[in-house]
């Protein structure tokens, strides 16, 4: 079966073939680093982590670029509010981003360019657009893109210029010829710090938000590449404007496939900092282990909305423990590579080849775990671990994971083991009342004790 990807640009599933097989070039819009990442950011990073993992598992060589926006109105405002430099703020937030992503098992992209490192390339695109009559200088010093002069505007979002104009509620900014035009280069303001200003043919200033991704993607992947991704909120206007800038400058299609992940929702509203209904990755990880959070996200298809609640995360934790329980009962015998001829592996591949269908792939893991429990087949346990590994799951020691429990708090392992030993001693002395008391005390602390032929084991409830 051939990999098929839903292409936002064409609004249909299409067979995927890279422009230069077997090399896949992928660009994903990253974070604006003025604050800690929330679960919505984690959802996007995890979605494209799975994309690049599956492409690699399918035999492709992947160059994955995920940018960092380190100059922006919000960044400037936050740095001034904190009384720190922009560089200090952004470096600190980038470090935090890496810590959070690493905790969730998100592999680092091949390249992670920062916007401030590519200002010359941005200015070159602005120059090319001005030469072609697609950009103009405003009296206030800004340089704007003339949207109506680009014939393909709206092809990604499906919005016509007339529809956009009819929905316009904002007065024309100073110097804009049309409300739909957007800024490519922002003239410096006197109150802005010096590190937010660059010299240019248009005077001192800084780049607009949209131009940075056009510059970095084209510089690192070429003027046309295979996949461009990001959150659904970026489809318009950010990605639409990227297309207008890049294709207006080069005359070539920017990306063949456009992919957009769905929102994380809280009480039927999109999780976002502007609405104040967000949970940072760190806040979530205080209550749930990282693999549970990863599993929670991957159980939903990347294009669907993901509803956040403790109930859903508790359910994900319980489900993940069932998979680990199968691996704890049957030590895995792993082959050198996945045997894709296995019926379980074949169904897993079929699911992933249909637009990275992680819900169906996860269902295969549960079918396989049930067969491991039934057959006690170490090779099938090995296959379960290998297929889980494709999704970044099931790579921890099963007993250690089950005893970790996926939750913060509770007695530590040494305390639990001491109580288990005391219970064993009570049983040996035929003091069954004391043994029962210790079991009940452990149960009250969320510890489940299991007696079996091989001895006593335990796990966190």
How far, in Å, CA of 2 to CA of 14, rounded?
10
pLDDT at res. 174: 65
As given in the structure block, the two tokens for residue 412 are 């530590």
Which residue's entry shows tokens 């090779």?
Answer: 379
Q: Is the pLDDT of residue 203 over 60?
A: yes
How far, in Å, CA of 296 to CA of 290, rounded?
10
Q: Which residues pair with 452 in a beta bridge?
A: 455
Q: Is the pLDDT of residue 368 over 90?
A: yes
Q: Is the pLDDT of residue 210 over 80?
A: yes
pLDDT at res. 29: 98
The average pLDDT across 239-264 equals 97
3-state secondary structure string across 309-357 = CHHHHHHHHHHHHHHHHHHHHCCCCCCCCCCCCCHHHHHHHHHHHECCC
CB 229 within 8 A of CB 51: yes
pLDDT digits (tens, 9 = 90+) for 388-402: 999 999 999 999 999
Q: Is the pLDDT of residue 170 over 70?
A: no
If one compares 65 and 420, the residue with the highest pLDDT of the two is: 65
Please name which of 208, 221, 184, 164 lies closest in space to residue 24, comparing C-alpha atoms.
221
- Mean pLDDT, all residues of the chain: 92
Report pTM: 0.89
Q: Is the pLDDT of residue 444 over 50?
A: yes
Q: Is the pLDDT of residue 163 over 90?
A: no
Distances (CA, A) of 357 to 4, 50, 264, 327: 10, 10, 18, 23
Q: Is 89 left (phi over 0), alpha (psi -120 to 50) or beta?
A: alpha
Q: What percent of the chain has pLDDT over 90?
A: 80
pLDDT digits (tens, 9 = 90+) for 35-82: 999 999 999 999 999 999 999 999 999 999 999 999 999 999 999 999
CB 4 within 8 A of CB 14: yes
pLDDT digits (tens, 9 = 90+) for 277-324: 789 999 999 999 999 999 999 999 999 999 999 999 999 999 999 999
pLDDT at res. 212: 97
In this structure, the chain runs to a length of 461
CB 150 within 8 A of CB 249: no
| Positive/negative CA dihedral, 314, 318, 320, 321 | positive
Q: What percent of the chain has pLDDT over 70?
A: 94
The average pLDDT across 213-233 equals 98
Instruction: Return the C-alpha torsion angle 52, 294, 99, 280, nearest 10.
Output: 120
How far, in Å, CA of 316 to CA of 178, rounded?
49
3-state secondary structure string across the chain = CCCEEEECCCCEEEECCCCECCEEEEEECCCECCCCCEHHHHHHHHHHHHHHHHHHHCCCEEEEEECEECCCHHHHHHHHHHCCCHHHHHHHHHHHHHHHHHHCCCCCCCECCEHHHHHHHHHHHHHHHHHCCCEEECCCCCEEECHHHCCCCCCCCCCCHHHHHHCCCCCCCCCCCCCCCEEEEEECCCCCCHHHCECCCCCCEEECHHHHHHHHHHHHHCCCEEEEEEEHHHHHHHHHHHHHHHHHHHCCCCEEEEEEECCEEECCEECCCCCCCCCEHHHHHCCECHHHHHHHHHCCCCCCCEECCHHHHHHHHHHHHHHHHHHHHCCCCCCCCCCCCCHHHHHHHHHHHECCCHHHHHHHHHHHHHHHHHHCCHHHHHHHHHHHHHCCCCCCCHHHHHHHCCECCCCCHHHHHHHHHHHHHHHHCCCHHHHHHHHHHHHHCCEEEEEECCEEEEEEC
CB 297 within 8 A of CB 62: no
pLDDT at res. 153: 96
Q: Is the pLDDT of residue 166 over 70?
A: no
As given in the structure block, the two tokens for residue 453 are 């032929």
Q: How confident is the model at residue 415 (pLDDT cuts 50, 70, 90)?
A: confident
pLDDT at res. 169: 47
Q: Is the pLDDT of residue 445 over 90?
A: no
347 phi/psi in degrees, rounded to 5: -70, -35
Q: How confident is the model at residue 420 (pLDDT cuts 50, 70, 90)?
A: confident
pLDDT at res. 173: 54
If one compares 271 and 4, the residue with the highest pLDDT of the two is: 4
How far, in Å, CA of 386 to CA of 361, rounded?
13
188 phi/psi in degrees, rounded to 5: -65, 145
pLDDT at res. 32: 97
pLDDT at res. 211: 98
Please name which of 198, 197, 252 lies closest in space to residue 225, comparing C-alpha atoms.
252
As given in the structure block, the two tokens for residue 256 are 């063949």
pLDDT at res. 454: 56
How far, in Å, CA of 19 to CA of 256, rounded?
9
How far, in Å, CA of 383 to CA of 338, rounded?
7
Q: How many CB atoms lie within 10 A of CB 443?
A: 12
As given in the structure block, the two tokens for residue 452 are 């079996």
Q: Is the pLDDT of residue 451 over 90?
A: no
The average pLDDT across 117-130 equals 98
- Give the strand pairing for 182-187 and 205-207: antiparallel
């Amino acid at each position: 079966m051939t990999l098929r990807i839903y292409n936002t640009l064409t609004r249909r599933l299409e067979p995927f073939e890279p422009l230069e097989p077997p090399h896949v070039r992928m660009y994903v819009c990253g974070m604006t680093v003025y604050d800690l990442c929330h679960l919505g950011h984690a959802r996007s990073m995890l979605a494209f982590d799975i994309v690049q993992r599956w492409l690699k598992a399918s035999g492709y060589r992947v160059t994955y670029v995920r940018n960092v926006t380190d100059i922006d109105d919000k960044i400037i405002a936050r740095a001034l509010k904190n009384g720190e430099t922009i560089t200090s703020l952004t470096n600190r937030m980038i470090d935090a981003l890496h810590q959070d992503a690493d905790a969730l098992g998100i592999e680092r992209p091949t390249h992670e360019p920062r916007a401030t490192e590519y200002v010359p390339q941005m200015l070159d695109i602005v120059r090319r657009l001005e030469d072609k009559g697609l950009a103009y200088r405003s009296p206030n010093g800004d340089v704007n893109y003339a949207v109506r002069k680009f014939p393909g505007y709206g092809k990604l979002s499906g919005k016509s210029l007339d529809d956009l104009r009819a929905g316009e509620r904002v007065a024309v900014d100073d110097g804009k010829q049309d409300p739909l035009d957007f800024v490519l280069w922002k003239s410096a303001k006197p109150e802005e710090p010096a590190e937010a200003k660059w010299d240019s043919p248009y005077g001192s200033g800084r780049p607009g938000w949209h131009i940075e991704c056009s510059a970095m993607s084209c510089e690192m992947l070429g003027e046309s590449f295979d996949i461009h991704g990001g959150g659904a909120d970026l489809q318009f206007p950010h990605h639409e404007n990227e297309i207008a800038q890049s294709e207006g400058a080069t005359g070539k299609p920017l990306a063949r496939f456009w992919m957009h992940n769905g929102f994380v929702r809280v009480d039927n509203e999109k999780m976002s900092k502007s609405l104040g209904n967000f949970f940072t990755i760190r806040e979530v990880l205080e209550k749930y282990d990282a693999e549970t959070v990863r599993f929670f996200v991957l159980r939903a298809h990347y294009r669907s909305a993901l509803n956040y609640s403790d109930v859903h995360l508790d359910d994900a934790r319980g489900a993940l423990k069932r998979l680990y329980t199968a691996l704890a009962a049957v030590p895995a015998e792993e082959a050198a590579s996945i045997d894709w001829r296995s019926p379980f592996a074949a169904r897993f591949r079929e699911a992933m080849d249909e637009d990275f269908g992680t819900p169906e792939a996860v269902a295969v893991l549960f079918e396989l775990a049930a067969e491991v429990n039934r057959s006690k087949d170490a090779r099938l346990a090995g296959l379960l671990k290998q297929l889980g590994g494709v999704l970044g799951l099931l790579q921890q020691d099963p007993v250690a994971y089950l005893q970790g429990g996926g939750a913060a708090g509770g007695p530590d392992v040494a305390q639990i083991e001491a109580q288990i030993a005391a219970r064993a001693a009570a049983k040996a002395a035929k003091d069954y009342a004391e043994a029962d008391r210790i079991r009940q005390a452990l149960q009250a602390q969320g510890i489940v004790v299991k007696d079996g032929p091989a001895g006593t084991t335990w796990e966190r409830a």
